[in-house]
Structure 1
């Protein structure tokens, strides 16, 4: 079966998924501006997200059999009560899983769950630029660019802009 024809399952993350999730995230920390972490965080960071998942803080994984291909999550936008109806969302994929529509599957599931919650009104995403694939993914899911912060990150010896995207539920 070709990679594009493989059946992918999207489900809630469990503790056993954390090492694979951490491997994906840590690779991004080492090699890309998809995260502004400059050092790998290991399993503790994602373990906290998975353990704390409840209500509108959701962590989903995409798996093919026993192989974890990526994950998406929603979490607090800012730590103040007036922001409770706004969730920041993000998606990360293993290198070999990119370009196969898996991020679309993860976001469809995540945003569908958020849309079903009466207390979630807005989702935001931050995209380091340039990143045409991420911009396209977010636009396909109804996000609109609401601003660009110039040179707010510094990684790999250069300054990086971030685009802010928003989706109203």
Structure 2
């Protein structure tokens, strides 16, 4: 395992974040986007996460951005306010070296600290066994599969929905709600 430093993303990290994500858009099925966002949209998304009071993190190894992760509100309706959906991407040269696990650890801790009770991961492509296993190692359980909902690379793709309770989960009323 390499020494992974996880910290809040800053504006200077956005070029590396955009590069990691653009590669996944072009070559992978984890994202259902078909053309990568440019720097303006990457910056806008980063600012949106920060404005929501949720974590946007980078993993750094030897001064290089090796991956990133963030969480956003799961849905805009008020009853979903304690549920977040996360995204996590690791650069190809750093996969299977503990970068994703460390990002998950810090992301989960910070989402719990922000008051989230459930975390959702939506994995593009049910054949993405590595991502499914990484989610399971981080405490997620498979909540379901949506079949053939994405069209990319001239084929239909499923999405796998993974879910993990945070903090007290649903074992108690939300703070200030009961």
TM normalised by structure 2 equals 0.87
Q: Matches of 1:55 and 1:10 in 2, distance apart?
A: 20
Q: Matches of 2:4 and 2:42 in 1, distance apart?
A: 22
1:20-45 deviations in whole A, cap 9, x for unaligned?
00000011110010100001112223
Q: What is residue 90 of structure 1 aligned with on the other side?
A: 87
2:76 pairs with one of 68, 74, 79: 79
Deviation for aligned residue 1:67:
1.0
1:56-103 deviations in whole A, cap 9, x for unaligned?
521000012331110011012111221111100111011111111100
Q: Matches of 1:78 and 1:147 in 2, distance apart?
A: 17
Q: Matches of 2:54 and 2:110 in 1, distance apart?
A: 10
The answer to whether structure 1 residue 122 and structure 2 residue 118 are counterparts is yes
Q: What is residue 24 of structure 1 aligned with on the other side?
A: 20
C-alpha contact 2:54 2:71 (8 A) present in aligned 1: yes
Q: What is residue 44 of structure 1 aligned with on the other side?
A: 40
Q: Matches of 2:27 and 2:157 in 1, distance apart?
A: 14
- The unaligned stretches of length 5 or more in structure 2 are 167-178
TM normalised by structure 1 equals 0.91
Q: What is residue 161 of structure 2 aligned with on the other side?
A: 164
Q: Matches of 2:90 and 2:52 in 1, distance apart?
A: 24
2:29 pairs with one of 23, 29, 33: 33
Q: Matches of 1:21 and 1:58 in 2, distance apart?
A: 15
- The unaligned stretches of length 5 or more in structure 1 are none
Q: Matches of 2:26 and 2:104 in 1, distance apart?
A: 24
Q: Matches of 1:164 and 1:65 in 2, distance apart?
A: 33
Count of aligned pairs between the two proteins: 164
Q: What is residue 104 of structure 2 aligned with on the other side?
A: 107
Q: Matches of 2:154 and 2:58 in 1, distance apart?
A: 32
